[in-house]
Chains A and B, each alone.
Chain A
């Protein structure tokens, strides 16, 4: 069965970076795009970007351009989301989510990781 297992909670100071991992199992990583979505406490989800695990290309939301980097390691079926220059407003649960269509233009986030809480505090 498809599973996305994310790394554990992180506490970071303002200005630091965080790298969250998402290990996929039960399917071939390179067949489906992976998205990253975050959700601040009490707020709705916010789309951060997506990566094509096949070629490694990424598309980021304008809000995060220059601060976020999404990468993958096909040998371990793992994707990563790196967010730099952290500020208190980045405190949120970060999710990876697979798009089950296999195409870039779509909207079917059919499997989600369990979420990783990132807390930014001095």
Chain B
């Protein structure tokens, strides 16, 4: 199972919006609506910010939103804030009870 493809890095200024893509195949992203996104600050465990493609856990600001089209899922962060600077990972169900993660995207807030 190959890792999902994410851009290595993205950047934006405070208040702007950024979108992070996550591309897979028909066997994972394209085949199921079980894409989740995680935010990870240095030295910390990942934190769930989106699940089931578009749903936000309680406590996650509505500045974070998810979507999917075909084999590509996307995470959009609007109204960028300094504390959003982190690594972001997508994850998809990949059949036979397995999961696959993306390689990660480093978000820099300029």
Chain A residues within 8 Å of B, Cβ to Cβ: 35, 37, 43-47, 50, 59, 61-63, 95, 97, 104-110, 112-115
Contact = CB atoms under 8 A, between A and B. Distances in A.
Interface residues of B, number: 27
A63 B92 CA distance: 17
B34 interface: yes
B91 A50 contact: no
Contacts of A114: 45
B101 A106 contact: no
Interface string B84-110: 000001011100111111111000000
Contacts, number: 71
Contacts of B103: 43-44
A109 B38 contact: yes
Contacts of A107: 34-36, 51-52, 91-93, 99
Contacts of A110: 48, 51, 57
B83 to A, nearest CB: 19
Given A35-B99, A107-B93, A62 B45 contact: no
A112 B98 CA distance: 18
A76 B16 CA distance: 48
B3 interface: yes
B104 to A, nearest CB: 4
A104 B45 contact: no
Contacts of A63: 1
A37 B100 CA distance: 10
B38 A105 contact: no
Contacts of A43: 103-104
Contacts of B99: 35, 47, 107
B91 A109 contact: yes
